Structure 1
Amino acid sequence: MSCIITRNVIRVVFIVAILFSIVGCSDNDENNTTPSLTSTNVVEVVFSPSGFGDLGYNDIILTGLEESRKRLGFDVMMHVPASVEDGIAIYNKWAQKTAKDERRLFIFASNQYESALRNSSVRPSDANSSVLLYETHEPIDGVYTFRIGMYGAAYLIGAYTALTNKDESDYKAAVLAANPFDRNVDGAAQGFRDGFIEAGGADATISYISDRDGDGYNMPNEAYALCNRLYESGHTFFFPVAGGSNKAVYQFSRNQGVYTAGIDGDMSAYSGLMNCSLVKNIGSATNDFIALWLDKKEIPQHQDFLWDSGYVNVIYCHDWKETDAQGIETFKNNILGKETKYEKSK
């Protein structure tokens, strides 16, 4: 089996080399001749622009795909385009080809492509080719979609944060969200705020790094500046929901000695003042989807994976322990009801 990586973002080479050195992947410019693939099953992936190296979502997908490739036996082609438009152009070129003796799956590993894909009529013409888009709420004709909802896990983190600081009546937290248009980001932001307030926290401000749709995910300088402003206004806990911009929040936590929570994976290595992390098991969700696809099983056109799916959970970091938050079980028992209510409101 083999994997091929094409991209026009030079800085990802080191990450890719570490993750794929044992399997002999090649890194090729998109204008070069594509090396031959060996499997009859090919998965082609377009990541978000400048996606690798975000210490979270994209890197977790990358690792999960490699584990899945070795376990299930298929070829992989990966692209890290410079823009959404470039990513759509890669897809359009893929869709124009016809599968012969192979089965093909094209994955958009970011909902940044949702609007362009939803407005496009380009779909593969043969039954052996399928398309998957991550993290959208609504079905798209001719495309498989799924999302991992974060409201429930964020609700628990908000409650845990307030309970572990219950002796501070004026304890103020801040959510740093990428933009106000991403419903997945909104779920995490609203969940944290609801849990924090209900557990006795004084305030949980939701602030946005960008006011533009599809933006805010790779803006570390703006995120750091926003942390400064919120810190000066009395906020001493930060919950980031902003993709690659989260790195700046972890850096601010280290520099200023303020507490934070991680997201996407276990982020405890990036700050000693991290109480817990919201873990999205996107690698497992991808593995399970590909396994069903390879076996030609029936797959729902759209799937919502919420708190009870097993694809999202909370882990407690360093010496922070669940028992530090007296009464957390009450909030755990409320998660499904609260999440259901939130989902119905959207």
Structure 2
Amino acid sequence: MKKAKITLFLRISLAITLLWLVSACEKEPSVTTPEPTVRVLIASSGLGDLSYNDNILRGILQAQQEFHFQLEYVSPADNKEAEQIVRSWQAEGDDPRSYYTILAASEYEDLARKIMPETSADNYLMFDTKADNLTIPTFHFTGYGVSFLAGVAAYTQTKAEKAAYIGGQRHESFIEDCYAGFRDGYKHAGGKDVVELYLSNTQKGFAMPKRAYIMADSLYRLYPFIYAMAGNSNNGIYQYLRDYPAAGYTAGVDTDQSDYSNRIIGSMIKEVGRCVKDYIGAWLRGEELPMRKWYTLESGFMNFQIAGPYKQELESIVEENLQTAIDKEKEYEKTMPAN
């Protein structure tokens, strides 16, 4: 009797097992949705500049922690390599909901015109261009207003008739706008003029700290303040002022860089990291992205932040001139030709 009960139990157990296996096989296999991918083309000057490019990556990594996505980023040697990289990305896949491609430097504007889709595509983003005829979303930081405030602060600190300006690349719109703003702010505060110099006619000027160091050695013999808008090359000026702190003063670029020299009276803060984080978040949420957006001094994404040791003397004068700088920037932008 016991043997019959055991046999029946085994048969029932086997039947239940077989039914479970059959039902499991009939179910559709589970599908795991892959994470979207954000692909970034960093400027050819590369990471490690302690300012613009590093700030971009910082914002993207913050976005990755919050939203979760795969990340690929490359800093190509030149435009030829940049084109090869983007074309290889497009060959791998260009699904608007799966891939987001960021051209994170104004030097890629010609590339954008060459290989971007003919119709509007919001899974691309082009950094810092004034162009209004691209088929992908773009944004532009206006450097005039914040540089106007830097000019006011520079004259207030030095009371010198003249100052110097070093740009990373000649004929780059943001760099030349910054010169115009600094010059006008310096003169508005009481200065006479600002001497204008450039490290290069190409984007290579943003990665020439040794050349900037040599230029600083010559310029500080004539001018007590150098306003440099040259990316990683600015580090040459900070190094010079660490070696010769009595030579003069300067300003930081893109992020608060006052830790690199006690002769940095303040820094242009350009919140490009926060900006790109917002764009990635909007894309992942499926929101409609603006095709063209400008970030001005009035936007809150740009400001001139006075360094701690100089706040007592300079912070109030900068605050007093904030609205003037905003108004002057609006006037200046009206004079600029449309692209």
TM (norm. structure 2) is: 0.83
Looking at structure 2, the residues matched to 40 and 292 of structure 1 have their Cα atoms a distance apart, in angstroms, of: 16
For residues 117 and 260 of structure 1, do their structure 2 counterparts lie closer, same or farther at Cα, with a shift above 3 Å needed?
same
Residue number among 268, 282, 297 corresponding to 1:278 in the alignment = 268
Q: Residues 120 and 136 of structure 2 are in contact (CA less than 8 Å); yes or no, is this contact kept in structure 1? A: no
**2:83 aligned with 1:88:** yes
Shift of residue 266, structure 1, vs aligned partner: 0.4
Question: What is the one-letter code of the residue matched to 2:242?
Answer: R
2:42 paired residue number? 47
Q: Deviations over 1:189-213 (max 9, x none)?
A: 1111110111012332111111x24
1:217 paired residue number? 206
Q: Name the structure where strand makes up a greater proportion of residues.
A: 1
SS of the aligned residue for 1:319 comes to helix
Residue number among 316, 319, 325 corresponding to 2:309 in the alignment = 319
SS of the aligned residue for 2:206 comes to coil
**2:132 aligned with 1:144:** no
2:243 paired residue number? 255
2:217 paired residue number? 228
Question: What is the one-letter code of the residue matched to 1:113?
Answer: Y
Q: Name the structure where helix makes up a greater proportion of residues.
A: 2
Question: What is the one-letter code of the residue matched to 2:211?
Answer: E
1:163 paired residue number? 156
Q: Deviations over 1:253-276 (max 9, x none)?
A: 222222110010000111111100
Q: Residues 124 and 130 of structure 1 are in contact (CA less than 8 Å); yes or no, is this contact kept in structure 2? A: no
For residues 310 and 204 of structure 1, do their structure 2 counterparts lie closer, same or farther at Cα, with a shift above 3 Å needed?
same
Question: What is the one-letter code of the residue matched to 1:252?
Answer: Y
- Percent sequence identity is 30
SS of the aligned residue for 2:171 comes to coil
For residues 323 and 256 of structure 1, do their structure 2 counterparts lie closer, same or farther at Cα, with a shift above 3 Å needed?
closer
1:123 paired residue number? 117
Question: What is the one-letter code of the residue matched to 1:200?
Answer: G
Shift of residue 244, structure 1, vs aligned partner: 1.2
The total of aligned residue pairs comes to 303
Question: What is the one-letter code of the residue matched to 1:41?
Answer: P
Q: Deviations over 1:282-304 (max 9, x none)?
A: 01101111111111112111111
Q: Deviations over 1:40-98 (max 9, x none)?
A: 32110010114111111011111111111101222211112222221221111112333
Which runs of 5 or more residues in structure 2 are unaligned?
1-31
Q: Residues 176 and 241 of structure 1 are in contact (CA less than 8 Å); yes or no, is this contact kept in structure 2? A: yes
Looking at structure 2, the residues matched to 242 and 39 of structure 1 have their Cα atoms a distance apart, in angstroms, of: 40
TM (norm. structure 1) is: 0.81
SS of the aligned residue for 2:226 comes to strand
Q: In angstroms, what is the RMSD of aligned CA positions?
A: 2.3
1:27 paired residue number? none
Question: What is the one-letter code of the residue matched to 2:92?
Answer: K
Q: Residues 46 and 109 of structure 1 are in contact (CA less than 8 Å); yes or no, is this contact kept in structure 2? A: yes
